[in-house]
Structure 1
Amino acid sequence: MTEAFKRGYALRKGRVSLANQAYSITMVTAHRENLFSNFHMGRIVVDHLRKAGDSCLTIAFVVMPDHCHWLIQLNGSKSLSAIIKQVKGGAALEINRYLNRTGNKIWQPGFYDHALRCDEDLRAAARYIIANPLRSGLVDDIGQYALWDAVYL
């Protein structure tokens, strides 16, 4: 068992999916490869995040060069793990097709999730997520970065 697989497995311990619960999700590319520096591949991830809208409300997201942050609220139709599997699997197939390769790993196993407590401010969490390109120095103004969205703006 690889070290990355062990970490992904450990993240699943105690994971619960609750309807109407807000979750902050982080998904990371395999080997922290900067795949999403390519705008088209970043847009593929954005499209798959939006397709998950039948199962959750997207509050905010940002697709960074080697990872993605996503703030969602479950509607109870699917588990958190099922939604992430749908997004990561669909994006991986499409990215591999775009790169004309098959079976290559796009994502690290698992994902990090944080269930927001009722006293945590969703707007503040959304602002924090979409400010990632600013904090990492990718842009000086969030308007210069195309791979993000938030319901509050």
Structure 2
Amino acid sequence: MPDLPASHRLRAGRYAEPNRIYLLTTNTLDRKPIFADFSLGRLVVHQFRRAQNVGLAKSLAWVVMPDHFHWLIELENCSLRRLMRETKSLIARDVNECSGRSGPLWQQGFHDRALRREEDLVKMARYVVANPLRAGLVEKLGDYPLWDAIWV
């Protein structure tokens, strides 16, 4: 494989399949803790809900960390590229507007992991929503406000 920038290597060989389960992760630019501000983190949640409402992806579990998010989805009527491009773009627009900041919000690209249906989705959802515990942000999951899972 040619020596490509990291964001291009993330896309190499990416294939999106409708009705497949994916774990998606993306980071803020320079890992700035933008979403330590709860109100800005809620803007991310709003875009997760929008994506579901317009039929792009069904949200199974998610957590918004101060400098990134993890989103467990079932892909519906779009590509991963379109889902993440729209979601990240709309979040950046909203965050910039609400916070008075300007410029890019996200690192380029995103990480995706396709899951087999047989895999324990509940176990993966628990892994996703337990990120604040592992990061030492809270002592109990219920103390962290920016997460959800359909199994809870």
| TM-score, reference length from structure 1 | 0.93
Greater mean alpha carbon deviation, residues 86-95 or residues 113-122: 113-122
Tell me the amino acid that sits aligned with residue 145 of structure 2. A
In structure 2, distance between residues paired with 1:37 and 1:141: 17
- 1:117 deviates by 2.2
In structure 1, distance between residues paired with 2:29 and 2:58: 26
Q: Which residue of 1 aligns with 2:127?
A: 128
Moved over 2 A (4+): none
In structure 1, distance between residues paired with 2:101 and 2:145: 26
In structure 1, distance between residues paired with 2:5 and 2:93: 24
Q: Where in structure 2 are the equivalents of 1:28-47 lying within 5 Å? A: 28-47=27-46
- 1:101 deviates by 3.1
Indicate the SS of the match to 1:40: helix
Answering whether residue 78 of structure 2 is matched by residue 78 of structure 1, we say yes
- 1:119 deviates by 2.9
In structure 2, distance between residues paired with 1:55 and 1:94: 19
Q: Which residue of 1 aligns with 2:67?
A: 66
Answering whether residue 121 of structure 2 is matched by residue 138 of structure 1, we say no
In structure 2, distance between residues paired with 1:66 and 1:101: 16
CA-based RMSD: 1.1
Q: Which residue of 2 aligns with 1:96?
A: 96
| TM-score, reference length from structure 2 | 0.93
Q: Which residue of 1 aligns with 2:11?
A: 12
Q: Which residue of 1 aligns with 2:113?
A: 114
Number of equivalent positions: 147
Q: Deviations over 1:57-112 (max 9, x none)?
A: 1000000000000000012x11011011111000000111112233x111000000
Indicate the SS of the match to 1:49: helix
In structure 1, distance between residues paired with 2:34 and 2:42: 11
- 1:118 deviates by 3.2
In structure 2, distance between residues paired with 1:7 and 1:46: 27
Structure 1: runs of 5+ lacking an equivalent = none
In structure 2, distance between residues paired with 1:99 and 1:136: 25
In structure 2, distance between residues paired with 1:89 and 1:128: 26
